[in-house]
Amino acid sequence: MTITLNNRKETFDTGPLTITDILHIKSFRFKMLVIKLNGALIAKELYDSTLVKEGDTLDVIHLISGG
Amino acid sequence: MASKCVGIAGAGGLGSNAAAALVRAGIGRLVVADFDVVEDSNLDRQFYFPDQTGQPKVYALKNNLLRINPTAFVRVFHEKITPDNARSFFSSCHVVVEAFDNAEEKEWFAVWMDKHLPRIPIIMASGISGWGHPEQMRVQRTSNMYVCGHQVEPEKKEIPLLAPRVMQVAMMQADLVLEILLKDIPQTHDHNVKQ
C-alpha cells in the first residue's frame, strides 16, 4: 500500500498495517511521539490496534526537549 | 490583530522571544504561563536582561513586552502548567504556542489540547538545539497542529541551545500565529511565494 508519511509518499509491501508495524518497519524508536492519522490524534494505547490503509495520511511527530 | 489573544505555554527561549515578536507585530492580548525564574544561564538566548535574574520569568517578560508596547494586554500566571489549570489559562485564546522545555511536557500538552481545546490551533516546537544549516528547520502541519524545528534527536546529548536557532524557531512559531490569525487577508506576493 502507499500512504503519505510525514508529507512523503511511502510504499509498503503489504497493507493495511498497524501503527506499531509502521513504527517498526521505519525504525521509529522515539519514546516521545505524537501520531496523527488523517489529522486525528491516536492515543498510544491504540498503536497496536489502529490500522493504516491505502491512501491514508500518517504524521509521526518526534518530540525533542529544548525550549 | 489588536483584538486577538495568543496563549504562550512557557516563557523560556521560545516563549519569551515569540511573545516579543507578536507584541511588535501588533497582537493585542497575550496569556503567558510559566513557573520558572530568570537565571544567568538564560540570558544567552531568552528575552531577559541581567538586572532581571531571580525574578519570575512571566513578570520580567510582561515588563519587557510593555516596554515594546505599553498598551498591550499581557496576562501572566506564575504557575506550572498542568492538565488541571491549562484550560483556565488558554481556553479564551485564538491560538496557543507550545514553548515547553522538555519532551514529556510537550507530549502531554499536545494530547491535552487535542482532547480538551481541539478547535484552538497549537503551534509546537521540537528540535531546536545546535547551529548552522538553517534550512533544516521545517514545519510539519497536521490539521490544526503545527510543529516547528528539525525533529532530530542529537547524537550527543550535550548539543547546546544557541540563540540563533532558538530564535529562528520562535520566529517560525510567531509567523505561524500570524498566518492563522490573518488567513483571510490576501498577500499581494502570494503568487510569487507559490512559484
- Find, in chain A, the residue whose alpha carbon is nearest to that of B104: A32
pLDDT digits (tens, 9 = 90+) for A32-52: 899 999 999 999 999 999 999
Judge whether residue B38 has pLDDT over 70.
Answer: yes
Cell 513586552 -> residue:
B65
- Lowest model confidence (mean pLDDT) among B94-108, B127-141, B151-165, B168-182: B151-165
Q: Do A33 and B13 touch (CB under 8 A)?
A: no
The pLDDT tens digits of the residues spanning B81-137 come to: 999 999 999 999 999 999 999 999 999 999 999 999 999 999 999 999 999 999 999
Cβ-proximal residues to B46 (8 Å cutoff; 6+ apart), any chain: B12, B13, B16, B17, B38, B57
Identify the pLDDT of residue B189.
64
Q: What pLDDT sits at residue A3?
A: 98
User: Any CB–CB contact under 8 A between B142 and chain A?
Assistant: yes
**Which residue of B14, B101, B104 is in closest CB contact with A32?**
B104
Split at pLDDT 50, 70, 90, the class of B2 is confident
**Does the distance separating the beta carbons of B126 and A61 come in below 8 Å?**
yes
pLDDT band for position B190 (cuts 50, 70, 90)? low
Instruction: Work out the average pLDDT over B25-46.
Output: 97
Average pLDDT over residues B173-187: 94
Which range, of A28-37, B33-42, B110-119, B184-193, averages the lowest pLDDT? B184-193
Tell me the pLDDT tens digit for each residue of A7-21. 999 999 998 999 999
Distance, CA of B130 to chain centre: 19
Answer whether B14 touches A (CB < 8 Å). yes
Q: Which domains does chain A have, with CATH numbers?
A: 2-62 (3.10.20.30)
User: Does ipTM exceed 0.90?
Assistant: yes
Mutation target to probe the A interface, by most A beta carbons within 10 A, among B126, B128, B146, B158 is B126
Q: Nearest Cβ partner of A63 from B115, B126, B129?
A: B126
* Strand (E) or helix (H) holding B59: helix B57-68
Indicate the helix (H) or strand (E) that contains B142: strand B138-142
Q: What is the pLDDT of residue B195?
A: 45
CATH fold of B5-194, please? Rossmann fold (3.40.50)
Within 8 A of B147 by CB-CB distance, chain A residues are: 61
Question: What does the alpha-carbon distance between residue B36 and residue B76 come to, in Å, rounded to a whole number?
Answer: 12
* Backbone CA torsion sign across A18, A49, A62, B182: positive
Peptide bond into A16 cis (omega under 30): yes
For chain B, give every domain's residue range: 5-194
Q: Quick check: B192 pLDDT over 70?
A: no
User: Which residues in B lie closer than 8 A to residue A64 (C-beta atoms)?
Assistant: 103, 126-129, 149, 151-153
